[in-house]
Amino acid sequence: MSTTAAKTENVHLTRPQATAWKRFWRRFSKNHLAVVSLCVLVLVVACAALSNVISPYNPTTSDFSHVYSPPTWQHWLGTDSLGRDMLSRILGGLRNACAIGFGAEIVELTVGILVGAMAGYLGGTMDNLLMRAVDIVYAFPSFLFSIILVVLLGHNLGAILIAVAATSWVGMARVVRSQVMKVRQSGFVEASQGMGASWWRIITRYIIPNSMGPILVSITFGIPANMMAEAGLSVVGLGIEPPTPDLGTLIIEGQSAMFSYPFLLLGPVIVFAITLISFALVGDGLRDVFDSKSSRRGR
């Protein structure tokens, strides 16, 4: 009898979740541009993750017999001033950009949700203390702070990731706080409080899952912002140390030779632009889905 009851409970729990996902995909798929952008992002992330496997050459190996070679069947996107294959270097740079973009977003998500959820749910003195800390970090020039951290920690992937994430979490904290303050007035939260659930359980089990819409939208815009911040550090000479490939460095190097060898600039610029635009279009699609849900609830 107990086994039958457990199966019935599992069915009742999984069916609403499956229905919610189907409803979400039905709304999201109406935006064909967002769906195409999502497919492009999947391809970009797959290429970045498998760059060591699919790269035709070692991105740091020089071949001085093929310096400034134009695109050929041997080198699809040509070679640079040291004879290094541009396709391999772009794939390597894309891998590092995705690592910093996604890695910094994970840090931002963790800290932002923790700070925002505690401030929004507990309120009072805790809210004032946490949000004053957020205001202080937000008021400090984020790019300048990133430069200081990179100078102190070094020009490596981990240091740049920390430098980018150090100030980007404040926006997430504000988003989460505003959502938590709305959701905590719901009936299911009050019922959980009446049943004696702890504030941590209420936040993690009920409030955060019901606040994921704006959080997901912020993530889709936060990842490309992290990539652009990493590229900005490369522009001022504080990116990943050579010869490790970096999209920002590739663009700067290509710009210096754009009139003589335009393929050096076009390759990294097109890949970087497609990646950023795809993230923006997917974010717009998600925002349309969740805004439409919010507008219907308000009627």
Residue 281 in domain: no
The span from the CA of 94 to the CA of 147, in Å, is: 21
Which residue stretches of the chain have pLDDT < 70?
A: 1-18, 20, 292-299
Q: Which residues contact 244 (CB under 8 A, 6 or more apart)?
A: 60, 92, 96
Q: At what angle do helices 86-122 and 247-256 cross, to 10 degrees?
A: 130
Residue 110 in domain: yes
pLDDT at 141: 85
CB 155 within 8 A of CB 163: no
The span from the CA of 52 to the CA of 58, in Å, is: 8
pLDDT at 292: 54
pLDDT at 11: 44
Residue 224, amino acid = P
* Two tokens, residue 32: 């064909």
105 lies in which domain range?
99-242
Q: What is the pTM of this model?
A: 0.85
pLDDT at 17: 56
pLDDT in tens, 224-248: 999 999 999 988 888 888 888 999 9
| Phi, psi values for residue 110, rounded to 5° | -65, -50
Residue 163 in domain: yes
Closest CA to 105 of 271, 273, 228, 4: 228
The whole-angstrom distance between residue 30's C-alpha and the CA centroid of its chain comes to 23
* Two tokens, residue 218: 């912020």
Read out DSSP for the chain? -HHHHHHHHHHHHHHHHHHHHHHHHHHHTT-HHHHHHHHHHHHHHHHHHTHHHH-SS-TT---GGGTTPPS-SSSTT-B-TT--BHHHHHHHHHHHHHHHHHHHHHHHHHHHHHHHHHHHHH-HHHHHHHHHHHHHHHHS-HHHHHHHHHHHH-SSHHHHHHHHHHHHHHHHHHHHHHHHHHHTTSHHHHHHHHTT--HHHHIIIIITGGGHHHHHHHHHHHHHHHHHHHHHHHHTT-SSPTTS--HHHHHHHHHHTTTT-THHHHHHHHHHHHHHHHHHHHHHHHHHHHHHHHHHHH-
Q: What is the CATH number of the domain that holds 205?
A: 1.10.3720.10
CB 223 within 8 A of CB 101: yes
Residue 200 in domain: yes
pLDDT at 97: 94
Residue 193 in domain: yes
Residue 15 in domain: no
pLDDT at 210: 80
Number of domains in the chain: 1
pLDDT in tens, 57-86: 999 999 888 899 999 999 999 999 899 999
Residue 249 in domain: no
Residue 18: how many other CB atoms lie within 10 Å: 9
Burial 218-256 (b: 16+ CB within 10 A, else e): bbbbbbbbbbbbbbbbbeeebbbeebbbbbbbbbbbbee
pLDDT at 142: 86
Residue 54 in domain: no
